[in-house]
Amino acid sequence: MTAFAGSGRARALAAWLLGTLATLGAAGCGDSGGSGGAEYVDDGKPLTLWWFEWPPPKGLRELARDFTAKTGIAVDVQEIPLPDYQTKTFQEFGTATPKHPTTFDIVIGDSQWIGRGASAGLYLELTDWMPTVIDMKTIHERAAKYLCEYPSGSGKWYAAPCETDAIGIAYRKDWFDDPKEKEAFQQKYGRPLAVPDTWDDFRQVAEFFQRPDQKRFGCAMLTGRAYDALTMGLQNLLWAYGGAWHAEGGKTVKGALDTDGTVAALNMFRDLLKFGPNGAENLDYVQSVEYFLNESTAMAVNYFAFFPGIQEKFGDRVGFAVVPKGPKGRVASLGGQGFSISTKIAKARQDKAKQFVAWFLQRDVQEQWIKKPAGFTAHTEILKSDAFRSATPYNAPFADSIDTMRDFWNVPCFNELLAETQKYVGQAIDGDMDPMAAMKKLAEEKERILHEKGLLP
């Protein structure tokens, strides 16, 4: 997810979150069209990249000037309004012909798109090419697995890492450091007030700061129902409590999802919502951030890409941390996007696109990329460096989170699986269904979808 400046963009993201699921459902999981084998022609226009409208494309546009100076290849980084981004991208693929190739040469798409892009022949396979331009060991294995590879474990690459992201915590450091608050917390809980290390710790801190009569709230979680916020929010507890969306390798869902671990995660997640603002059970990404920015909330759980804007407002009054751990460890929901090259363009343009991606992945360029707002890298050595970790207050917890990142389904019918997940997790959170009953029903629905799409025998 993304960091936005200004209410206009916040509204745009909210509109996108409301509209994307309906669009995905209508789009289905099939191929988006093809060229019938005809050859595409290079139109001589600048190398064109599409990304959605938020701060990182501006940094990428600035960075690309160095590429142009070095190679003479002009680069046009286009920002597509969020409400239209996914719809417009797959419409471009679907209507492309040799006379009218995709407007973009490179699309920077969400991790969940890769299954559809690869299986429908829309993303150029990069498997053999990537090792010729970069030491693959320099790309963090979690970013490689979730942003670049499809199917999982196949070793086949259809994207290169661009923006790497994970969920973390922003917290009111000034509240945590207040002597009166520290004394009151110590008396109530018998331990020092500190950044939560476990979800039990988090619950106590959220409970302590929940003071609706003072317009103070304990936490703002991700619970939005329109797209995927609830799913991404729950994931941070799901695996930490021993739950799972599916068995390892995605071969089965029943017996993996409908478990005591998943139910424990659901129950804790539902409990935490008692310590949030009004409407805490349905907050999208922007709303969660807005409750923090209006200075009413002690902790916000959200993607690190939101944190530069929070840091800019609060300065040293805010701190950042990794998500808490549960009985089975610490897991952060993955975010971010990768570079994918269109198959619906001329080979000469694909070669230019490869040249740009190869340049971007070089260490000296990555060291410039991380200086841009929310320009998070997947370069393992940079992530470990003191220079990166100390550059901002949120870099170190981001670097510490990347080893724990896990993602939702990225198969071609991701949207259908997501819709069912949002539905049944929502019913369990709202108390409309018993959590175990909801997870059993969700497991049945997921297996039905996967069977229908030929992804389960």
- The Cα 442–Cα 245 span in angstroms is 10
pLDDT of residue 28: 43
Question: 8 — phi, psi (to 5°)?
Answer: -60, -45
pTM for this prediction: 0.88
pLDDT at 329 over 70: yes
Residues 160 and 218 grouped into a single domain: no
d(CA 251, CA 31): 23
Alpha-carbon distance of 222 to 240, in angstroms, equals: 16
Examine residue 49 and state whether it is found in any structural domain, yes or no.
yes
Tokens of 212: 């609706």
Determine how β-strand 217-220 pairs with β-strand 297-303.
parallel
* Same domain? 139 vs 225: no
Name which of 175, 195, 186, 163 is nearest 292 in CA terms. 175
Q: How far apart are CA 369 and CA 59, in angstroms?
A: 7
Residue 83 confidence (pLDDT): 67
Domain match, 172 and 268 both: yes
For residues 43-53, average pLDDT: 92
Of the three residues 281, 307, 333, the one that is the final residue of a domain is 333
Residue ranges making up the domain that contains 265: 167-333
Residues 161 and 186 in one domain: no
- Structural domains of the chain, count: 2
The reported pLDDT for the residue numbered 210 is 98
- Does one domain contain both 176 and 292? yes
Within a domain: 1: no
**How much of the chain is helix, strand and coil, in % rounded to 5?**
50, 15, 30
Task: Using the 3D structure, point to which of 271, 303, 333 is the last residue of a domain.
Answer: 333
Q: Provide the residue count of the chain.
A: 457
- Residue 412 included in any domain: no
- Residue 241 placed within a domain: yes
Mean pLDDT over 1-23 rounds to 37
pLDDT for the residue 183: 98
Q: 282 and 387: one domain?
A: no
The answer to whether residue 457 sits within a structural domain is no
Same domain, 281 and 133: no
Domain boundary among 333, 366, 383: 333
pLDDT, tens only, 195-238: 999 999 999 999 999 999 999 999 999 999 987 899 999 999 99
At a CB cut-off of 8 Å and minimum separation 6, what does 434 contact?
428
Q: Is there a single domain that holds both residue 146 and residue 289?
A: no
> In the predicted model, what is the mean pLDDT of residues 96-114?
94
**41 belongs to a structural domain:** yes
Domain co-membership, 131 together with 211: no
Q: Is residue 63 part of a domain?
A: yes
Two tokens, residue 74: 């002009």
CATH number of the domain enclosing 190: 3.40.190.10
DSSP output for 151-187 = STTS--BS-EEEEEEEEEEEEEHHHHH-HHHHHHHHH
Token match 């990404």: residue? Answer: 285
- In this structure, the answer to whether residues 381 and 259 fall within a common structural domain is no
Q: Which phi and psi (to 5°) does residue 407 adopt?
A: -130, 165
Write out the two tokens for 44: 């001589």
**Domain presence at residue 411:** no
Average pLDDT over residues 107-123: 94
Q: Are 303 and 373 found together in one domain?
A: no
CA-closest candidate to residue 106, choices 92, 94, 120, 95:
92
pLDDT single digits (tens) 235-292: 999 999 999 999 987 789 999 999 999 999 999 999 999 999 999 999 998 899 999 9
pLDDT in tens, 383-417: 999 999 999 999 999 999 999 999 999 899 988 99
Interval 301-313: pLDDT, tens: 999 988 999 999 9
Residues 141 and 208 grouped into a single domain: no
